[in-house]
Structure 1
Amino acid sequence: MMTIRAMVPLGLLLSVPFAMAQVNAGPQSGAQMPPDYRGPEIHIPGIYVTPVAGAPFTAKVDIVSTQVLPDGTSVTRTTINHIARDSSGRIYNERRRLVPASFKGDPPLVSGHIYDPATRLSIFTAPMTRLARETYLPPPRSPSANPNRPKPTPDLPDQDLGTQEVSGVPMKGIRKSRSLSATMSGTGKEVVISDEYWYSPELGDQA
């Protein structure tokens, strides 16, 4: 198992019983890159494991959130995510509560996500309510369905971070930066947000 660290500026199956609800959903995006930073928010999505067959792994993701307050002081909170993928491409992602840096042990589990690309069955679990939601996703739309749709462009050019090894796995890195106005940042100052994405050709996934 490898450990992935995610610095945020602002898997495993559950054993508890669940009530199941089945619904239909819209198309799922085929993009592998995580969504760009949307501005300050409490919810941190962590790392999404893409359903790639033939590249199984398990990992623990360490997430650190540092919030700079208007008086110049900062508050640091942390959490972890356990993620996994089996040889058939089935994936497990999770989200845990942010806790103080002094917290010991695993933070409380907020939600889990299990997805099987063979059946396109997506299951979201909520341990606190002991409820789960089943969704069968339709096939993704063809990229040519809307060829005139404008593509988002970054405020600043992407930066190639080269290659490094994480737990013995070679990773290629890229830094994407966005600038937030003083109003949007919530700090009274213009803020530049930089996100680092690391891609492993061996795992077929971003981290």
Structure 2
Amino acid sequence: MKRASGVIAAMLGFGLCLWAQGIRVIMPAEIEVSEVKGKPFTATARTTLVQVLPDGTKKTRTVEDRIARDSKGRIYREQHLPWTEDANNPIYYVNIYDPVEKRRIHIDPQNHNVIIRPIDRPIHYDALEYLTLKATRPGEQIKNEKLGTKEFEGINAWGRRTLHTFPAGMFGNPVSFVSVDECWYEERMGVDVLRRRSDPRSGEQVTELINLTGAEPDPTIFQPPPGYTRQAPPARHPE
């Protein structure tokens, strides 16, 4: 049975905000990975979400996604939908960034579909860029903080925190609120080791990189699965 129809289109359209169970769901901040050649790794991104529903019920969800990068700079990542109710049949997608073939591959294991898009520039993720974020709308405020260095499972990372204050009325909110985004970044490998987000609209999120090894991943994971149907990319909606 086909599930989550339309969700993959929203995700592939780079939409980060969806609706589920009648409440606004913001996709978790992902562990960012830069295109770095010659530094392969495999790891697991474990995300824990704590959310309070409109009736006051508190829900906690934990999902684990595989992440890998090979020596060619190809990046593989899974993305489980955190509000999936059936733990035995979770809904998830796979995104592959392939600088060798200059393409992005989006895989839907539920429906055995694949979408391929061309890419025209490499991923050069740099957590330092977040320290230069500035407010762009009237009334909002952004404060960037350096957190120094910290060790995670033997990995030294440096951290930054961004506090984003939204004024009352910007999203129909009766009072102002603050969202907090915290990131710890390992510069040599070009990968985040921890992301923490707090937002009253979506709850609390902690995503940590665990089981990190320098092993070369299986090269077959960077290819579309055999037997999958290739679909045309969904139309992008105007901003």
Tell me the matched-pair count.
159
Query: Aligned pair in 2 of structure 1 residues 44, 201: CA closer, same or farther (>3 Å)?
Result: closer
Q: Secondary structure at the match of 1:164?
A: strand
Distance in 2 between residues matched to 1:126 and 1:60, nearest whole Å: 19
The Cα offsets for residues 86-130 of structure 1, whole Å up to 9 and x where unpaired, read as: 1111100111022589x877x724210112212212111001110
Residues 1-207 of structure 1: matches in 2 within 5 Å?
41-44=25-28, 46-69=30-53, 74-99=58-83, 108-139=90-121, 153-154=134-135, 155-183=141-169, 188-207=174-193
Q: CA deviation at 1:47?
A: 2.1
1:66 and 1:187 mapped to 2: Cα distance? 21
1:48 Cα deviation from its structure 2 partner: 3.2
Contact 1:182 1:189 in 2 (8 A): yes
1:49–1:92 contact (8 Å) kept in structure 2: no
Contact 1:49 1:84 in 2 (8 A): no
Equivalent pair of 2:159/2:184 in contact (CA under 8 Å): yes
> In the TM superposition, what is the alpha-carbon distance from 1:194 to its structure 2 partner?
0.6
**TM-score of the pair, normalised by structure 2:** 0.56
CA distance in 1, matches of 2:114, 2:156: 36
Q: Is the 8 A contact 2:144 2:160 kept in 1?
A: yes
Which blocks of at least 5 consecutive residues in structure 1 are unaligned? 1-36, 141-150
Instruction: For 1:41, give the aligned amino acid.
Output: V
Post-superposition offset of 1:132: 0.5
Is the partner of 1:124 in helix, strand or coil?
Answer: strand
Kindly provide the amino acid, as one letter, of the partner of residue 153 in structure 1.
K
Check 1:104–1:135 CA distance in 2 against 1; reply closer, same or farther (3 A cut).
Answer: closer
CA shift for structure 1 position 184: 5.1
| Contact 1:56-1:86 within 8 A present in 2 as well | yes
| Residues 43, 68 of structure 2: 8 Å contact kept | yes
Amino acid at match of 1:203: M
- The percent of aligned pairs where both chains have the same amino acid is 33
Contact 1:49 1:93 in 2 (8 A): no
Q: Give the secondary-structure state (helix, strand or coil) at the position aligned to 1:133.
A: strand
Amino acid at match of 1:110: Y
